[in-house]
């Protein structure tokens, strides 16, 4: 297990280095001049040149990249071109909202997905199976921005049950939970559909296994056959999908945060891209990439507890 963690830590370093290079390159060749954005419409050519010199934007590409990586290793991700605020501080202020939204969405996705997949597998070819499969297909197909707008229209505007947007209250309060419901459903629907489809297919594969038929022949109660013999052995692919989707949710909150006016990392990233705020974009992407790799490491560790036969050499 220790060797696995060490290997993944080394892979994380190389992965983050590659991602930082790609993001830095993309920002470097992107149209627009951040110095002109910082200077504003009244800035003269000499003002823009002075800003570029001050930020080091006139240096060669590799010089800029090496300087950025060297500072990032020391925990310095630079300063925002828009606000002059340290990038790390700006991200950490907004990250709790993104994390709360991702966790709430994952809870919604797991509950709906696993239950729908179980019911669909246990009632194969029934009306429940067809309904669950159809809803899963619809969940994958519906765009987040459309579903979010529809939920706001129904539950916030017409029924006035839930707030339109924002995330200003602690998550453990009633108002905080209300603020999370619509964004979590919006973001978690697509993941719930994928988890449901994987749960169904994995359960159908395991439920036909010889040891399940043997357990039933020995008179084991059906609920024990399902929960002990079947579901536990079907969990490996389900956990894989859950882990991958949680990583995707952390990086996929952009549209949902925009729709519900949530002050999170995704919204920060979109605003930074529009303003050519290179340090903010790079810091946000590196954070999301790091979390994605860490989530996958946790999934690999969970495998060994679910199935002791899995060994990482």
Is residue 1 classed exposed, middle or buried when 0-12, 13-18 and 19+ CB atoms within 10 A define those classes? exposed
* Cα separation, 228 vs 41, whole angstroms: 67
Q: Which CATH number is associated with domain 94-264? A: 1.10.3720.10
* Cα separation, 128 vs 116, whole angstroms: 9
Residue 44 φ/ψ region, left for φ over 0, alpha for ψ in the -120 to 50 degree band, beta for the rest: beta
- Residue 310 confidence (pLDDT): 59
- How far does CA 288 lie from the centroid of its chain? 8
- Residue 312 confidence (pLDDT): 53
Put simply, whether the predicted model's pTM sits higher than 0.85 gets the answer no
* Cα separation, 285 vs 280, whole angstroms: 9
Helix (H, G, I), strand (E, B) or coil at 267: helix
Angle at 303 between CA 302 and CA 309, to 5 degrees: 135
Angle at 238 between CA 236 and CA 239, to 5 degrees: 65
- Residue 313 confidence (pLDDT): 52
CB 27 within 8 A of CB 269: no
Who contacts 32 (Cβ-Cβ below 8 Å, separation ≥6)?
Answer: 276
- Residue 297 confidence (pLDDT): 76
pLDDT, mean of each 10-residue run, the chain (313 residues): 72 81 80 74 80 81 86 83 84 88 89 87 82 79 83 87 79 82 87 86 83 80 78 80 79 79 84 81 83 78 68 54
- Residue 307 confidence (pLDDT): 64
């Amino acid at each position: 297990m220790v060797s696995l963690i060490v290997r993944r830590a080394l892979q994380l370093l190389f992965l983050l280095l590659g991602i930082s290079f790609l993001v830095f390159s993309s920002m470097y060749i992107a149209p627009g001049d951040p110095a002109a954005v910082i200077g504003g419409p009244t800035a003269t050519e000499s003002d823009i040149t002075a800003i570029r010199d001050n930020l080091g934007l006139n240096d060669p590409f590799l010089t800029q990249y090496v300087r950025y990586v060297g500072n990032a290793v020391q925990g310095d991700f630079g300063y925002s071109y828009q606000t002059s605020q340290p990038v790390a501080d700006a991200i950490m202020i907004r990250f709790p909202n993104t994390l709360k939204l991702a966790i709430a969405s994952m809870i919604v996705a797991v509950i709906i997905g696993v239950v729908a997949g179980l019911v669909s597998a246990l009632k194969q070819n029934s009306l429940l199976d067809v309904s669950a499969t159809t809803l899963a297909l619809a969940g994958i197909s519906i765009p987040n921005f459309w579903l979010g707008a529809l939920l706001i229209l129904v539950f916030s505007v017409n029924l006035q049950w839930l707030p339109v947007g924002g995330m200003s209250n602690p998550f453990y309060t009633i108002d905080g939970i209300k603020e999370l419901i619509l964004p979590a459903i919006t973001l978690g629907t697509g993941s719930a559909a994928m988890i449901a489809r994987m749960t169904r297919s994995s359960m159908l594969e395991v439920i036909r296994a010889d040891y399940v038929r043997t357990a039933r022949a020995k008179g084991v109660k059906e609920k024990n056959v399902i929960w002990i013999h079947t579901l536990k052995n079907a969990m490996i692919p389900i956990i894989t999908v859950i882990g991958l989707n949680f990583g995707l949710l952390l990086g996929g909150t952009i549209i949902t945060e925009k729709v519900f006016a949530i002050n999170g990392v995704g919204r920060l990233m979109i605003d930074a891209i529009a303003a050519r705020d290179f340090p903010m974009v790079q810091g946000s992407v590196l954070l999301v990439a790091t979390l994605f790799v860490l989530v996958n490491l946790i999934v690999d560790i969970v495998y060994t507890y679910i199935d002791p036969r899995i060994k990482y050499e």
